[in-house]
Homo-oligomer: A and B are copies of this chain.
Amino acid sequence: MSHVAVLTSGKREQTKVANRRAILDAAREVFAELGYEVATVRDIIRRTGLASGTFYNYFRSREEVFEALADDGAARFRPILRACWDTSDSFDGYLRAAIQAYFDFLADEHQTWQVMRPAGEKQPHMRIQTPEMERVFEEVRDAFSKAIEHGGAPRVDADYLAAACIAVARQVGDKMLERRPIDTVAATDFATRLILGGLPALPRLAT
């Protein structure tokens, strides 16, 4: 009999955590295989072996699972972003590090999500704003604000700037994932230069 029991190690707690994880994992698979629109709560719960009613002990709806998955991703990325800020000594450095980190993160996650789907199937793109994502946005905006305060960046509209930077990162990131091989460095170079110097600063293509 061990005195060093795990803190939350009642049998009750254990299965609660395990079930929640099982549902989230099953949901990720099902969303990837069938597509978010088509997937049903029962598709998800069936894969776990649990009863249909049990699902509703953990999530209120299919939407909420999806949100939890998205939130999870954002929550995992936020400390990475924070580290970029802490280890950078200039605004330019922070920006590049953050974008590189995001693209690496994206390439990693991509493999987890990627599943072969019937080709040509139109997949409506679902985009939600979770609390964690909101926090990521705020963190970026605040980082910009701080840089502006300290004179590391010009005094511009930090709100617009954060929105624009995130937009560029997301869109260029998506495009990056469509190309083979996936080149996070090139994508980072493109996005960073665009933001820091605009069109004239972009890397030139070989003639």
Contact = CB atoms under 8 A, between A and B. Distances in A.
Interface of A: 37, 63, 67, 122, 124-129, 153-157, 159-161, 163-164, 166-168, 170-172, 174-175, 187, 190-191, 193-205, 207
Contact of A124 (B63, B154, B163): B63
12 contacts: A37-B63, A127-B127, A154-B202, A160-B172, A160-B175, A160-B187, A163-B174, A167-B171, A167-B172, A168-B168, A195-B199, A196-B199
B172 A163 contact: yes
Tally of this chain's copies: 2
A89 to B, nearest CB: 17
Contacts of A167: 167-168, 170-172
Nearest to A159: B175
Nearest to A37: B63
Contact of A204 (B122, B154, B175): B154
Contacts of A125: 126-129
Per DSSP, chain A at the interface is helix
Contact of A164 (B127, B160, B194, B204): B194
A196 to B, nearest CB: 5
A63 B167 CA distance: 25
Nearest to A204: B155
Contact of A175 (B156, B163, B168, B170): B163
